[in-house]
Amino acid sequence: MRFSNILAIGSIFATALAAPAINNEIETSVSDVESKVPVGSALSTVESKVPVGNIIDARAEQVIITKMQTTIVEVKKHTTAINSTVSGVCGPCIASKKETIIKTVKSEVTVIVSLISTLVSEVVELLENTVEIVEEEKQQIISLVLELVFEIIYTLQNVLKVLTISIFELLGPLVFLLLSVIVHLLTTLNVIVDGLLQTVFGLLGGVINLLLEVLSGLLPTVLGIVGGVLDKLNLGGLICGLLN
């Protein structure tokens, strides 16, 4: 897929957020890598054996992985905050605390959306001069994507069970923004990780009951969001496979 297609796909999402800059640890990590690059004759030897394009791509793929790892660490801080909000809430206390819990969850999810949106923007910038990456990095990226998605899904499922409400009662329209940035991330990474979408949606098909529970009442709208993206990528058949 050409890089320009990512910008076209991304335009269908309402993800314009004032996202905070990614953790300074990323810049430190990149600086550390650059400080270890040999100079002088040693660098000339490396350049004579490895095409410059491959060096750039290797750096980019590692930066993408590092950024994803950092984002997951930050997201888990907020999912932990959400879980602690509902942890130990007694049955009789739920009614009186429901509004406060919902407000807290919305606030934390808003930050999560912002973190993922920032990650997408940074990955898009890195994709401009990269090509498809090697198998080891592909598997690592897929693993990180699944870790991120399931962290969010299980956190929301826990809240819905405690409060006995629907996802829309919990998040309102924010749920669509959350879904949009997640799908945007998947389609962006699919450019360099061939088959990422098939793998992720295939595994989600194995927990379809969980998805139906979390997205209760919103499935037609969700399928519209996801299906529209997959159709643009000629992957619309994934939806049928997910539901079978």
Q: 161 CB contacts (<8 Å, ≥6 apart)?
A: none
26, amino acid identity: I
Q: What number of H helices and E strands is found in the chain?
A: 12, 0
Tell me the residue range of the domain where 129 lies: 3-243
Query: How many domains would you assign to the chain?
Result: 1
The pLDDT tens digits along the chain (244 residues) read: 444 444 444 443 433 333 443 344 434 443 443 444 444 443 334 344 434 344 444 567 888 999 999 999 999 999 999 999 998 787 777 888 899 999 999 999 999 999 999 999 999 988 775 655 778 888 999 999 999 999 999 999 999 999 999 888 999 999 989 988 998 999 899 888 888 888 887 777 666 566 666 666 565 555 555 555 555 444 444 444 444 4
What is the distance between the alpha carbons of residues 82 and 86, in angstroms, rounded to a whole number? Answer: 7
What are the C-alpha distances in Å from 28 to residues 24, 34, 67?
Answer: 6, 10, 12
Angle at the Cα of 86 (from 104 to 102), degrees rounded to 5?
Answer: 30
